[in-house]
Structure 1
Amino acid sequence: MNKRTFLKSVSLISAGLLASNGAHAVDLSSSKTLTLKKPSPLPKKGTIGVVSTSAATSNQKDIVFATQIIEALGYEAKLAPNIMARRGHLAGTDAQRAGDLNALFSDSSVDAIFCLRGGSGAARILPLLDYELIRANAKPLMGYSDITALHNALLAKAGIVSFHGPNASSDWNPYHVQQFENMFEQQKRMHFSNLPKGENELINSQYLTQTITPGEVTGRLIGGNLTVLTALAGSEYLPDFEGAILFLEDIDEAPYRIDRMLSTLKLMGALDKIAGFVFGDCNDCSPGNGYGSLTLDEILADYIKPLGIPAYRGAMIGHIKRQFILPVGTQITLNADAGTLTMKESAFS
């Protein structure tokens, strides 16, 4: 099942199928009134739990890599019980995956949680998560791509900060290690600026940022993968967009689909509420053969430029070799002229 086929089934599953699988109601305030709760700092030589909430891994090597990466960072790895489970393309049943995540949050020996990988399927478990338990045991959770569903739900339903960054099985290169150390160990209020041009480049072509609308603004950071985020439209698992800084990225989506998803955000009123906008990388998002296509530049000009808010594109966010580790839910200042994001508060309690 590919990503688009899966997303078409989400509304049907959320409407009824999960109800027979042990879903329970959670009585928490909406994200408009829920006080933001920050996780405790990650202690030195602490334990990082690894969970697979989305697609299954067919390769034991991914588990070995994830464990070795965590140990190389100086921490102990604790694998969720069902991490190698499989049901179709998913990493086990919805109940298994949700149970693993709930268990890692409730486990006092676990100090942080890394998601093993993305893919698809995280949205299916959102009704099965215990948000009261998660809020009471707030700890850092990190991942990206399909983990966008978790970032938004954790903020909307539990009011906790989470981290959009490499998955446990990602390429943990020196840039990611430095980002991790700055964010989690030194707890810096980080300034996110693209890398300068490479030594063999005359200009910065690899990490170029482009201003859509100039200006500077501060707001709460929300967002993630565009496809996954828009699949949550109309649900209770999206946070309030009012005054937010919205960041987006995607991969393997033709421009007409990017157009359709931004149209969804416009029609649901989200774009008219945000205070700032940043678009990261869109890997393999070129037009295919056929009648022709709007370009990404034209699409952003149609939807973002008329908003008149500070906005830029090209940030190091997405399915790329080096990406920022972003604290979702915290106050961030966006400078569209410089192409930067700056934390205005700590991400930890």
Structure 2
Amino acid sequence: MLDRRTAVLGLGILPFAAGSALSAPPPPLRKPPRLKAGDTVALIEPAGFTEDKFDLEQVLATIRAMGLVPKPAPHVMKRYGYLAGTDKDRAADIDAVYADKDVRAVFAVRGGWGSARVLPYLDWDVIRANPKLLVGFSDVTALHLAFAAKTGCPTIHGPGAASSWGALSWDSFRRLAFLGETPTWRSPAPSEDRLAPRSGIRTFRGGKASGRLLGGNLAVLSAMVGTPYMPDFTGAILFLEETGEAEYRLDRMLTQLGLAGILGKVAGVVFGQCTRCTGEEANYSGFTVSEVLDQHFAPLAVPAFQGALIGHIANQFSMPVGIEAEIDADAGTIRILEPVVT
């Protein structure tokens, strides 16, 4: 019988060395305060830049509509190649907003590429001493993982400040960040919500599992393997999402996680949405996305399912990174077991 310390490569199943991935035990949990109307929240751009001032004005209006007061960091709307300022500039913005006593939470405006580049320049002592919610997704995954590894401060993998913030996205975030609730996320059926995935939930292996929620964008997470900014995934619930990646590239990245020992450590897996994840080859007859996921997740012998509303979609769940949760792979649910805020 296969155990969880296996990784699927193509048509064969190969063992890997458990514990080979570089990781550190989690630091003590340091929960940030909950948000309330009138709170000041900082806007940062740890990766790509915003070029159009009217786009930034829309972002400011979105934050104000939440009842919050936006405070852009100094290098928002700066540009350095495809980045929002140099690595040290973007890192200085993060340090500054965490040191700012008036700021209660930190929203990434957008993703792109470049969040991982700021990690060596951050003042982790300042961030650790000033717990504040970090909110964002996609490339911001690098910060979520690093915060989990270095600070013990929970973060929220959810819409960026420039995201569409549909009703489901806002309600999901509000319940976690403002109300301090411990909700259960269940993807609505297509008949209930036209924005829900048409394919619904696919269960690769049934059952329930609980553990610390860790994850984010698959490409960013797989690129963090072997760095000191990767948290320990032992007993964790791994959640993943992706966009714009062909099936074979998904296979490559999941193979990396298997060979690095990460998949063999987790207690359960949730794969959210994979938008535009199809190859460009005409008359493609290879593995589907779900078949690739099944090849990597089913042999782990832990609960695993696909289809949660996590990822590059109009409405998405807010996922509290670093907080305990329970998944039911048969029902396709994610139950948050503790508040993310105090």
Q: Same fold (TM over 0.5)?
A: yes
Shift of residue 300 of structure 1? 1.4
CA contact (8 A) 2:273 2:309 kept: yes
Shift of residue 40 of structure 1? 1.5
Larger relative contact order (Cα-Cα within 8 Å, sequence gap ≥ 6): 2
Partner of 1:321: 314
**Equivalent residue for 2:234, pick from 242, 251, 254:** 242
Partner of 2:219: 227
Between the aligned partners of 1:293 and 1:287, the Cα distance in structure 2 is 10
Partner of 2:190: 197
Is 1:295 the counterpart of 2:288? The answer is: yes
Partner of 2:259: 267
Aligned residues: 318
Partner of 2:275: 283
Partner of 2:9: none
Q: Give aligned-pair identity as a percent.
A: 42
- More helix as a share of residues: 1
Between the aligned partners of 1:311 and 1:95, the Cα distance in structure 2 is 39
Partner of 1:255: 247
| 1:242-283: CA deviation from partner (whole Å, max 9, x where unpaired) | 000000011000011000000000000000000000101111
CA 1:239 to 1:298, structure 2 compared with 1: closer, same or farther past 3 Å? same
Letter of the 1:179 counterpart? S
Shift of residue 197 of structure 1? 2.9
CA 1:151 to 1:33, structure 2 compared with 1: closer, same or farther past 3 Å? closer
| 1:160-207: CA deviation from partner (whole Å, max 9, x where unpaired) | 100000000000222222122211121110111112333698xx8636
Between the aligned partners of 1:155 and 1:205, the Cα distance in structure 2 is 29
Secondary structure, counterpart of 2:103 in structure 1: coil
Between the aligned partners of 1:33 and 1:182, the Cα distance in structure 2 is 25
Unaligned runs of 5+ in 1: 1-29
Unaligned runs of 5+ in 2: 1-22
CA contact (8 A) 2:34 2:179 kept: no
Is 1:347 the counterpart of 2:321? The answer is: no
CA 1:179 to 1:33, structure 2 compared with 1: closer, same or farther past 3 Å? closer
Partner of 1:98: 91
Shift of residue 49 of structure 1? 0.6
CA RMSD of aligned residues (A): 1.5
Residues 1-349 of structure 1 aligned to structure 2 (within 5 Å) = 31-198=24-191, 206=198, 208-289=200-281, 292-349=285-342
Shift of residue 287 of structure 1? 2.6
Between the aligned partners of 2:255 and 2:153, the Cα distance in structure 1 is 28
CA 1:33 to 1:162, structure 2 compared with 1: closer, same or farther past 3 Å? closer
Between the aligned partners of 1:283 and 1:327, the Cα distance in structure 2 is 22
CA contact (8 A) 2:99 2:126 kept: yes
